[in-house]
Structure 1
Amino acid sequence: MNKILREKIQEALSSVLPITLIVLVLSMTITPMPVGTLVLFLAGAVLLIVGMAFFSLGTDVSMTPMGEGIGAQLPKTKNLAVVIAITLLIGILITIAEPDLQVLAGQVPSISNSMLIWTVAVGVGLFFVLALLRTIFKIRLSLLLILFYIAVFIFSAFVPNEFVSVAFDSGGVTTGPITVPFIMALGVGLASIRGDSDAQDDSFGLVALCSIGPVLAVLLLGIFYSGGDAGYTQIAVPELEDTRQVAAEFVHALPDYIREVVSALLPVIAFCAIFQLIFKRFHKIQLQKIGIGFLYTFVGLALFLTGVNVGFMPAGHYLGQQLALSGKSWILIPLGMLIGYFLVTAEPAVHVLNRQVETITNGGISQRAMMLSLSIGVACSVGLAMMRVLTGISIYYILIPGYLIALTLTFFVPKIFTGIAFDSGGVASGPMTTTFLLPFSMGACEALGGNVLTDAFGIVAMVAMTPLLTIQTLGLLYRFKQKDMPQETLAADDEDSIIVLEGDT
């Protein structure tokens, strides 16, 4: 276990170090940063590295086997109504457990946190049921995506512009470090029961559909809710004079995030306990490992959230503000792209997805190729988001063409790439986006005198969109590569994939 933990720490270090170096270089050149804010950021980076390592280890040991076990067990239940009820409950519980959702809810004070959270949770739960039924009944993912994204853009025409960005952002924040490992593993479990040639392709796509549910739910809330105009809470950058005050910031915040993680994980653990009591899926040694894994997950997530919220949020806001005021505001675009390129590597759920993809495809799609595609996609999305901050153009001019291209590509790429691409969109927009890129965008928008709700919000939605294009482009390249391969090699690869799936059962 110690060896594995060291590997996880090295992985986390390689993910966090680039963005840390970028911020250090900026603080010593273009945007001199107060020493207190810089020390706060560096301390947050340390917590981020340790937290990511423990969280990654914990999900491997607990969330993944538990999700796969539940996914494999559900189709064996003959009563479809029971399966639907259990799936709906899982979707609601893991969404309420998602820490990113709390951050988003706090940005819209005109709507109570509980109303927004429950609206989003029900949206995820209903579409989780839809994702389950799609896997069981072998419904083509691209058809559902086209149908529901058309519905999303139709509904968005009837809500205030301020609500549109919040709705699209909600689709990104709900697929974070709690939700993704569980849903991805459950998809693998469902596919392992089927065992047919298309099962591998259909193991992906659950996250994609679960990302649409909250968008539709919040848009419907915007149509019928009359609680007032949407607003946001400005981020306060603390003025710190010495390292004692820096330490005090983390010490005061840590108990709050511990309570948040406890309230997030307890419903999931309770559900897993009830599942085990009913179905007796795991033996004693497996349960002990899963229990230790949940402990690692708890420690890692508490440290991670404390690090990003206390250390990264003020630094992101300050950098965006100072770059906008530097007299060379155009520099926001290339620097935003550079930050986005490296920031996605620090998203904990991204590593979960990449490992899952490499395993399911039997190495056909490597973690390195996935990470490169995601990094390029997020870099492009942050560049476009900074362009919106500078020009104030509507988010529709980017989202509508982007999704049209992404949905068109679904007809030309292998089915598995469609599922992976749309899953990747939700996964890339995690805690690092909401606690660094969103404050970065808000700080720049405030400094330029723009409308924060229409020009800065929506960056989460854009981060969730561009991986759909880059991953499916990777799928096109993969298809062309297959055409050049001998038929014997392709047949052998197909057999290997089937063996992997059969081994999981």
Structure 2
Amino acid sequence: MNFLHTLGHAARNLAPIVIVVAVFQALVLRTVPDGLLSMVVGLAIVVFGVALFLQGLEMGIFPIGKNLSNALARRGSLLLLMAFGFTLGFATVIAEPALIAVAEQAEVISEGRIEGMVLRLIVALSVGAVVALGILRTVLGHPLHWYILTGYVLVVLVTFFAPEEIVGLAYDSGGVTTNIVTVPLVAALGLGLAASISGRNPLRDGFGLVALAVMVPMITVQIYGIIVFTGAEIAAPTGAETAAMDPGTDLPGAGERHWLSAMGMDLLLMLRDVAPIIAVIVVFQYFVLRKRIPYLPRVMFGFVLVVLGLYAFVVGLKLGLFPIGESMAEQLITNELFMWVYLFAFSIGFATTMAEPALIAIGQKAEEAARGSLRGNVIRILVALGVAIGITIGVHRILAGDSIHHYIMGGYLLVIVLTILAPKQIVALAFDLGGVTTSEVTVPLVTALGIGLATHLEDRNVLIDGFGLIAFASIFPIVTVMLYAIAVDLYERWSARDERQEE
């Protein structure tokens, strides 16, 4: 019964995408897309894979991760906590489905210049390091906004020197690090620490780990891009050349390999992706805490479900979500329905974010931490509006052929200004909300939409222009939440001044 509930949860998460795509196909394009049956099967596999993955997390990873966090916090060892934070951040990100999807697309589009596994290792190491830093910040009680301001000034500076080929991908990599696995564990770790340390405010000190985990990969991946691309001209595939990127060509069983051996190999690769999480749990549980894992058979079964779910998710992506995004982009561009491209981008951004489970969870935690002064539903609407605006602006950049440097640097300069002006108790939450806006379902579709637009527009370089939509989806929720907080703060000050004058 529990699995059926999880399956329904996964289906509801996918439903906004299906509704938006169906409405556009029926009312705007008035056609049936090619390969409809394959797409439907792919979507069903995605739902089933996400459900298996979530069920495995609930049975195995989440209980053990929370127990370890609490046990290590009670021990009071800062070094031990930081070591756990590093390994937890690394292990969860290396297995993140959305990051796997983006890394695979980047490797194909760059013709191997960007190595998918290297990209994932860089992002995972960055997140591990920054989670450890965030734990240190919480323990020492340092204001988060100084870390954020310093970090994003560095982000903008690195972006100024980074080659065009890496900028969009770097920001997208930061945007997908905090997702279905990372957010609940990292948020629970930060809030647990803030609650257990005297003098800490959960709203001000408990949030912020997710924000830092988004920021640092943007810097490290751009540095990786400077090393990879400097001194070399890149001719990313355009137009017909992208036929080599057909997602179906690298499905299990493609080519001359027998499908059973291909399935076995892919399952082993998924097991490799999940292995770091298993290693973290085993090392800290048995060698640091020196305790047995409770309900071990249940935990082991949970890990099996995680591996199978990841495998099904990746297969479903290639059959369903990637073709849908690329098909919608192709049809809208071919029919020169440019205004409808903007509306489709806005609708997908708003609808999928409102259904994002990680956002719902963070909204509830924020409402509890703020003791009712913030409403979870208001937060969700603000963030969904920010994502919709961000993806729409990102689509405009692709259609106009503008440089992503100017948009990204302008966006984060605006964020830096708002960080200075906004009430300090909202800063950590606002940046965390920017990191949880893109789900395991939304990221592949949005990535495919960007790649599809860049593929079917003349004079566009897929590697330069195809990535970046996820980055915009992460920037603008920060803007909308901070603007709301500034407006509320100004209203409260004016109201208090008027009351004093009346008295």
TM-score range, shorter chain: 0.7 to 0.9
Structure 2 residue corresponding to 1:335, chosen from 334, 339, 344: 344
Q: Is the aligned partner of 1:168 residue 2:166?
A: no
Gaps of 5+ in 2: 497-503
CA shift in 2, pair 1:407/1:92, >3 Å: same
Alignment of 1:178-217 (within 5 A): 178-217=181-220
Provide, for residues 72-128 of structure 1, a one-character-per-residue CA deviation record: whole Å limited to 9, x for no partner: 344455654444444333333222222333333331421333332322222222222
Gaps of 5+ in 1: 240-244, 487-505
Alignment of 1:180-329 (within 5 A): 180-225=183-228, 228-229=232-233, 234=242, 235-236=245-246, 258-280=267-289, 294=303, 297-329=306-338
Letter in 2 for 1:179: T
Shift of 1:313: 0.5
**Structure 1 Cα separation of the partners of residues 279 and 464 of structure 2:** 40
**Structure 1 Cα separation of the partners of residues 303 and 199 of structure 2:** 32
Alignment of 1:469-484 (within 5 A): 469-476=479-486, 479=489
Shift of 1:311: 0.7
Paired residue for 2:94? 96
Letter in 2 for 1:44: G
Shift of 1:453: 2.6
Q: Is the aligned partner of 1:70 residue 2:53?
A: no
Q: Is the aligned partner of 1:370 residue 2:379?
A: yes
316-325 vs 96-105, which moves further: 96-105
CA shift in 2, pair 1:482/1:197, >3 Å: farther
Q: Secondary structure at the match of 1:428?
A: coil
Q: Secondary structure at the match of 1:23?
A: helix
**Structure 1 Cα separation of the partners of residues 207 and 410 of structure 2:** 24
**Structure 2 Cα separation of the partners of residues 219 and 468 of structure 1:** 22
Shift of 1:55: 4.1
Paired residue for 2:501? none
Paired residue for 1:40? 38
Shift of 1:475: 3.3
Preserved contact between residue 69 and residue 189 of structure 1 (Cα < 8 Å):
no
**Structure 2 Cα separation of the partners of residues 134 and 168 of structure 1:** 24
Shift of 1:407: 2.7
277-286 vs 220-229, which moves further: 277-286
Shift of 1:430: 3.9
295-304 vs 418-427, which moves further: 295-304
Aligned-pair identity (%)? 27
Shift of 1:397: 3.2
Q: Is the aligned partner of 1:458 residue 2:472?
A: no
Preserved contact between residue 96 and residue 118 of structure 1 (Cα < 8 Å):
yes
Paired residue for 1:17? 15
114-123 vs 314-323, which moves further: 114-123
CA shift in 2, pair 1:230/1:271, >3 Å: farther
**Structure 1 Cα separation of the partners of residues 49 and 247 of structure 2:** 23
Q: Secondary structure at the match of 1:183?
A: helix
**Structure 2 Cα separation of the partners of residues 185 and 434 of structure 1:** 23
Preserved contact between residue 78 and residue 136 of structure 2 (Cα < 8 Å):
no
Provide, for residues 159-194 of structure 1, a one-character-per-residue CA deviation record: whole Å limited to 9, x for no partner: 211122222122112223222222122222222321
Paired residue for 1:502? none
Preserved contact between residue 44 and residue 311 of structure 1 (Cα < 8 Å):
yes
Shift of 1:459: 0.8
**Structure 2 Cα separation of the partners of residues 413 and 53 of structure 1:** 38
Shift of 1:320: 0.4
CA shift in 2, pair 1:305/1:252, >3 Å: farther
CA shift in 2, pair 1:459/1:364, >3 Å: same
Shift of 1:280: 4.5
Preserved contact between residue 52 and residue 308 of structure 2 (Cα < 8 Å):
yes
Shift of 1:156: 1.8
Paired residue for 1:494? none
CA shift in 2, pair 1:483/1:426, >3 Å: same
Alignment of 1:134-173 (within 5 A): 134-173=137-176
Paired residue for 1:498? none
Preserved contact between residue 160 and residue 405 of structure 2 (Cα < 8 Å):
no
Q: Secondary structure at the match of 1:225?
A: helix
**Structure 1 Cα separation of the partners of residues 113 and 359 of structure 2:** 32
404-413 vs 168-177, which moves further: 404-413
**Structure 1 Cα separation of the partners of residues 304 and 400 of structure 2:** 47
CA shift in 2, pair 1:123/1:83, >3 Å: same
Letter in 2 for 1:205: G
What TM-score comes out, normalization by structure 2 length?
0.82
Q: Secondary structure at the match of 2:138?
A: helix
Provide, for residues 312-351 of structure 1, a one-character-per-residue CA deviation record: whole Å limited to 9, x for no partner: 1011101101101112223211121112211234555444
**Structure 2 Cα separation of the partners of residues 350 and 294 of structure 1:** 24
**Structure 1 Cα separation of the partners of residues 25 and 264 of structure 2:** 30
**Structure 2 Cα separation of the partners of residues 434 and 253 of structure 1:** 26
Letter in 1 for 2:85: T
Letter in 2 for 1:323: L
C-alpha RMSD of the superposition: 3.5
CA shift in 2, pair 1:352/1:46, >3 Å: farther
State the aligned residue count.
475
CA shift in 2, pair 1:254/1:406, >3 Å: farther
CA shift in 2, pair 1:444/1:161, >3 Å: same
426-435 vs 382-391, which moves further: 426-435
What TM-score comes out, normalization by structure 1 length?
0.82
Paired residue for 2:478? 468
CA shift in 2, pair 1:53/1:102, >3 Å: closer
Preserved contact between residue 128 and residue 209 of structure 1 (Cα < 8 Å):
yes
**Structure 2 Cα separation of the partners of residues 412 and 161 of structure 1:** 31
Paired residue for 1:490? none
Structure 2 residue corresponding to 1:388, chosen from 378, 393, 397: 397
Preserved contact between residue 51 and residue 302 of structure 1 (Cα < 8 Å):
yes
Provide, for residues 216-238 of structure 1, a one-character-per-residue CA deviation record: whole Å limited to 9, x for no partner: 11122233335845566734265
Letter in 1 for 2:474: A
Structure 2 residue corresponding to 1:114, chosen from 109, 112, 117: 117
**Structure 2 Cα separation of the partners of residues 49 and 485 of structure 1:** 49
Paired residue for 1:437? 446
**Structure 2 Cα separation of the partners of residues 46 and 117 of structure 1:** 27
277-286 vs 148-157, which moves further: 277-286
**Structure 1 Cα separation of the partners of residues 473 and 42 of structure 2:** 23
CA shift in 2, pair 1:479/1:300, >3 Å: farther
Provide, for residues 347-372 of structure 1, a one-character-per-residue CA deviation record: whole Å limited to 9, x for no partner: 55444434444454455544433332
Preserved contact between residue 424 and residue 468 of structure 1 (Cα < 8 Å):
yes
**Structure 2 Cα separation of the partners of residues 12 and 412 of structure 1:** 38
Q: Secondary structure at the match of 2:114?
A: coil
Q: Is the aligned partner of 1:133 residue 2:136?
A: yes
